[in-house]
């Protein structure tokens, strides 16, 4: 058994910053204290902290240095634990990264519930196949979960719409309509309109609004119209007596 002050001295020799020194001291203390099953987890967690403090290579070099100083240092085991700790650290970093990527994708194309039964999709930046599919998938899930009646797509922030991007948009509009929602497109700039007509992309199947205000006005009219029709339907069904004496109320 080593005297604690020896280990402290060693930790001071190895560590470059106070935080690092403290971690080494903690690590050596745990390593040469009681042996036990739960000890491994404690060692790994300290190594994890060291891995955060240092890069992987310096960490390995310092473990090697310790092994040289202390004859009874269990180098193989410590390396194994260090490897495990570094692996954990990397996995966590990757998770954070993919989480951030997803957040970025969502921030880049916000889908906002702007009115009762109405969503607004503001498309910004260049659109490629991968992004187009991500946006379409997110939009359709939102339309389905919110039961939106109208989707306003604002393309003011899209610098260029060629046949490829036009094709993505048409696919997204058609998919939205298959859920029973209406699409209102707005924000086509003069130069984009010029290119679209030259390329033969005419967006014939969606209604087009002059600006966001116009789109909103139309959208509201559409949702109110449907609400009115639904009310009428309920009334006429009640009058004709459908739903009475009905054992299968599930409908």
Partner 1 sequence: MDLEKLEAILASQSHEFDVVVRIAKEEDIAVARQMAKKLAQEMGFSLADTTKVATAVSELARNIYRYAQQGRIMLRKKEEGKSGPSMEIIAADQGPGIPDVELVLTKGYTTYERSLGIGLSGVKRLMDSFAIYSAPGRGTVVVAEKRRRRF
Partner 2 sequence: MKEAPSNPEQVVPVLQIADFLLVPIQIDLDDKTVGLLQEQLLKEIARTRAKAIILDVRMVEVIDSYISYTLSETAAMARLMGCRTILCGIRPPVALTLAQMGIALGELSIARDLEHALVLAQAP
Residues lying near partner 1 in the complex (CB under 8 A) are found at 98, 101-102, 105, 130, 133-134, 136-137, 140
Residue 178 partner contact from partner 2, partner 1, none using kind-dependent CB cut-offs of 5 to 8 Å: partner 2
Instruction: Pull the structure tokens for residue 154.
Output: 């604002």
177 binds partner 2 (CB under 8 A): yes
The answer to whether 33 and 24 have CB atoms below 8 angstroms apart is no
Greatest Cα-to-Cα distance within the chain, rounded to the nearest angstrom: 94
Q: Is the dihedral of CA 49, 54, 56, 59 positive or negative?
A: negative
Quick check: 91 binds partner 2 (CB under 8 A)?
Answer: no
Binding of partner 2 at residue 176 (CB under 8 A)?
Answer: yes
Q: How far is 8 from 41, CA to CA, in rounded Å?
A: 22
Bridging pattern class, strands 118-124 and 150-157: parallel
Q: Using alpha carbons only, how large is the chain's radius of gyration in Å?
A: 32
By CB under 8 A, name the one of 92, 95, 171, 213 that touches partner 2: 171
Binder of residue 143, out of partner 1, partner 2, none (CB less than 5 to 8 A by kind): partner 2
Shortest distance in whole angstroms from residue 205 CB to partner 2? 8
DSSP sequence for 149-164: SEEEEEEEE-S---HH
Q: Which of 52, 94, 191, 246 binds partner 2 (CB under 8 A)?
A: 246
Q: Which of 64, 193, 221, 242 is in the footprint of partner 2 by CB under 8 A?
A: 242
Q: Which is nearer to partner 2, 98 or 174 (CB)?
A: 174
Q: What is d(CA 167, CA 136) in angstroms, rounded to the nearest whole number? A: 12
Q: Which two tokens stand for residue 75?
A: 């180098």
Q: Does 204 bind partner 2 (CB under 8 A)?
A: no
- The footprint of partner 2 (CB under 8 A) covers 133, 136-137, 140-141, 143-144, 147, 149, 171-172, 174-181, 226, 229-230, 233, 236-237, 240, 242-243, 246, 248, 251
């Amino acid at each position: 058994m080593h005297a604690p002050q020896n280990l402290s001295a060693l930790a001071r020799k190895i560590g470059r910053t106070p935080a690092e020194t403290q971690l080494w001291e903690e690590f050596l203390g745990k390593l040469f204290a009681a042996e036990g099953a739960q000890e491994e987890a404690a060692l790994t967690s300290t190594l994890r902290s060291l891995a955060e403090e240092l890069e992987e290579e310096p960490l390995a070099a310092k473990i090697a240095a310790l092994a040289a100083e202390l004859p009874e240092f269990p180098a193989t085991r410590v390396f194994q634990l260090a490897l495990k700790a570094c692996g954990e650290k990397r996995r966590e970093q990757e998770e954070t990264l993919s989480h951030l990527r997803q957040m970025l994708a969502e921030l880049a194309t916000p889908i906002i519930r702007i009115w009762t039964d109405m969503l607004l999709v503001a498309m910004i930046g260049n659109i490629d196949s991968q992004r187009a599919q991500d946006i379409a998938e997110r939009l359709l899930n939102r339309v389905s979960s919110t039961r939106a009646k109208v989707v306003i797509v604002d393309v003011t922030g899209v610098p260029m719409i060629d046949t490829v991007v036009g094709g993505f948009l048409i696919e997204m509009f058609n998919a939205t309509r298959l859920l029973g929602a209406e699409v209102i497109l707005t924000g086509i700039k003069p130069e984009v309109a010029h290119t679209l007509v030259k390329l033969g992309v005419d967006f014939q199947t969606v209604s087009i609004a002059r600006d966001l205000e116009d789109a909103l006005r139309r959208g509201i009219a559409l949702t109110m119209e449907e609400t009115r029709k639904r009310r009428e339907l309920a009334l006429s069904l009640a009058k004709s007596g459908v739903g009475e004496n009905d054992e299968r109320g599930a409908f």
